[in-house]
Amino acid sequence: MDKNLKIAVAMGGPGSEHQVSMESGKGVLKALLDAGCDAVELIVKDHEINVTEGIDIVFNTIHGTYGEDGEMQSQLEKLGIAYTGAGSANSKIAFDKVLSKEKFIEAGVPTPASEIVDVTHGFIMPRMSLPYVVKPPREGSSVGVHICKTEEEAEAAMRDAVKFSNDVLIEQLIEGPELTVGVLDGEVLPIVHIVPRGGVYDMASKYSWMSEDGATKTDYYCPAEFTPEVTKAVQDAALKAHKSLGVEVYSRVDVLLDKDGAPYVLEANTIPGMTATSLLPKAAAVAGYPFAELCMKIIDISKAIQR
């Protein structure tokens, strides 16, 4: 990478993942500075990004609202400023679980059966049989996600989900190992096996450093120990999902295995966590990309794209 590039690391954002994004941004900034790059901090607090003159590229570490849904990308495109990661159109599709589900189905990506519940004209319950998972379609990092096995749990979950939007995604519950697979410039990275100690991979399990005790709540295994056949099936499904969304540069695809070892893709994250201990960097390190090298590779690939 050209070390003379002036890089602004965008972090924070107006969404529910602001603090997580700050950690990602600080991680990337430190890695770039330690590698001798010309990088500066750019904290975003609302739905507008203010890039100082002379910046060659914005390294986007804003998870969820604004940074991952295509809004910031669209603003930067209008300003003619380069940025890392997926473009505005594909970011919008990937961030929307309803739109991405449609793309998965069109492309033949294995994904759980689903139902969209429209609550525009009043509260209604899903038709799908329990157990299932209730998800707001346009929130990240498990925000508003509920596993429902009883009618009482389902109603409480729906009451919560409708706070976020007028449509709610209901997915068949797949009970089995939770996995995530990074894709970098078309290369599938080793699988990360996620094992939450409390049994559910929720916000508290993902971000234990944010809790009062800071105790580890999840174990991660990379490369995941599966048969070559299962490993290939999972990686193939992840790559197919990534391609079906047209995502540029990189993503991290979340996958579940059922009891028979068949993979089911949940979603693709276009701005995955980017601290040195986050899941995409874990997998990249196993594949031979130390954290600073990963960050610089993302910049190189992104800089070459014509927006």
pLDDT (tens digit, 9 = 90+) per residue, 65-86? 999 999 999 999 999 999 999 9
Spot the catalytic one: 87, 114, 273, 289.
273
Query: If you search the block for the tokens 């749990």, which residue do you land on?
Result: 153
In this structure, the answer to whether residues 165 and 195 fall within a common structural domain is no
Backbone angles phi, psi at 112, to 5 degrees: -60, 150
Beta bridge mates, 263: 257
In this structure, the answer to whether residues 225 and 262 fall within a common structural domain is yes
The answer to whether the Cα torsion of 282, 284, 289, 295 is positive or negative is negative
Spot the catalytic one: 201, 207, 250, 289.
207
Q: How many CB atoms lie within 10 A of CB 246?
A: 13
> What is the band of 3 on the pLDDT scale with cuts at 50, 70, 90?
confident
- Of all residues in the chain, what percent carry a pLDDT higher than 90? 86
Query: If you search the block for the tokens 């100082």, which residue do you land on?
Result: 52
Spot the catalytic one: 17, 23, 167, 178.
17
Per-residue pLDDT for 203 more than 70?
Answer: no
How many domains would you assign to the chain? 3
Spot the catalytic one: 205, 269, 278, 302.
269
Per-residue pLDDT for 29 more than 90?
Answer: yes
Spot the catalytic one: 91, 178, 254, 278.
254
Spot the catalytic one: 141, 244, 251, 302.
141
> How confident is the model at residue 217, as a pLDDT?
76
Cα separation, 160 vs 202, in Å, equals 15
Q: Which amino acid is at 202?
A: D
Q: What is the mean pLDDT of residues 224-229?
A: 97
Active site residue 115: no
Q: What is the mean pLDDT of residues 174-201?
A: 91
Per-residue pLDDT for 147 more than 60?
Answer: yes
Q: Which amino acid is at 123?
A: F
In this structure, the answer to whether residues 17 and 40 fall within a common structural domain is yes
pLDDT: which is higher, 277 or 77? 77
Spot the catalytic one: 140, 252, 264, 289.
252
Active site residue 201: no
Active site residue 267: yes
Active site residue 220: no
In this structure, the answer to whether residues 46 and 64 fall within a common structural domain is yes
Active site residue 66: no
In angstroms, what CA-CA distances link 95 with 69, 92, 125? 5, 5, 24
> What is the band of 143 on the pLDDT scale with cuts at 50, 70, 90?
confident
Indicate whether this model's pTM tops 0.75: yes
Q: What is the mean pLDDT of residues 100-111?
A: 98
The residue out of 172, 192, 222 marking a domain boundary is 172
* Residue 89, CA atoms < 13 Å, CB-side half-sphere: 3
Domain around 140: 113-172
Per-residue pLDDT for 211 more than 90?
Answer: no
**Contact call for residues 250 and 60 (beta carbons, < 8 A):** no
**Contact call for residues 126 and 157 (beta carbons, < 8 A):** no
Q: How far is CA 133 from the centre of its chain?
A: 18
Active site residue 252: yes
> How confident is the model at residue 34, as a pLDDT?
96
Confirm whether 47 is domain-assigned: yes
Cα separation, 95 vs 77, in Å, equals 18
Per-residue pLDDT for 235 more than 70?
Answer: yes
Residue among 124, 119, 122, 126 nearest 146 (CA):
126
Per-residue pLDDT for 198 more than 70?
Answer: yes
Spot the catalytic one: 23, 69, 96, 267.
267
**Contact call for residues 252 and 279 (beta carbons, < 8 A):** yes
Cα separation, 43 vs 87, in Å, equals 21
Q: What is the mean pLDDT of residues 11-20?
A: 93
> How confident is the model at residue 204, as a pLDDT?
55
State the angle between helix axes of 291-303 and 18-34 in degrees (0 to 180), rounded to the nearest 10: 100
Per-residue pLDDT for 209 more than 90?
Answer: no
Q: What is the mean pLDDT of residues 138-151?
A: 86
pLDDT: which is higher, 215 or 269? 269
Cα separation, 242 vs 237, in Å, equals 9
Query: If you search the block for the tokens 């209604």, which residue do you land on?
Result: 124
Q: What is the CATH number of the domain that holds 195?
A: 3.30.470.20
Confirm whether 270 is domain-assigned: yes
Could you report the per-residue pLDDT of 157-185, keeping only the tens digit for each? Answer: 999 999 999 999 999 999 999 999 999 99
> What is the band of 101 on the pLDDT scale with cuts at 50, 70, 90?
very high
Could you report the per-residue pLDDT of 35-69, keeping only the tens digit for each? Answer: 999 999 999 999 999 999 999 999 999 999 999 99
Q: What is the mean pLDDT of residues 127-142?
A: 90
| Tokens of residue 177, six digits | 């190992």
**Contact call for residues 165 and 136 (beta carbons, < 8 A):** yes
In this structure, the answer to whether residues 294 and 219 fall within a common structural domain is yes
In this structure, the answer to whether residues 224 and 264 fall within a common structural domain is yes
The residue out of 172, 201, 216 marking a domain boundary is 172
Q: What is the CATH number of the domain that holds 63?
A: 3.40.50.20
In this structure, the answer to whether residues 203 and 247 fall within a common structural domain is yes
| Tokens of residue 231, six digits | 């490993």
Residues 6+ apart with CB under 8 A from 21: 11, 12, 13, 61, 62, 63, 64, 67
The residue out of 92, 123, 154 marking a domain boundary is 92
pLDDT: which is higher, 181 or 15? 181
In this structure, the answer to whether residues 32 and 60 fall within a common structural domain is yes
In this structure, the answer to whether residues 155 and 225 fall within a common structural domain is no
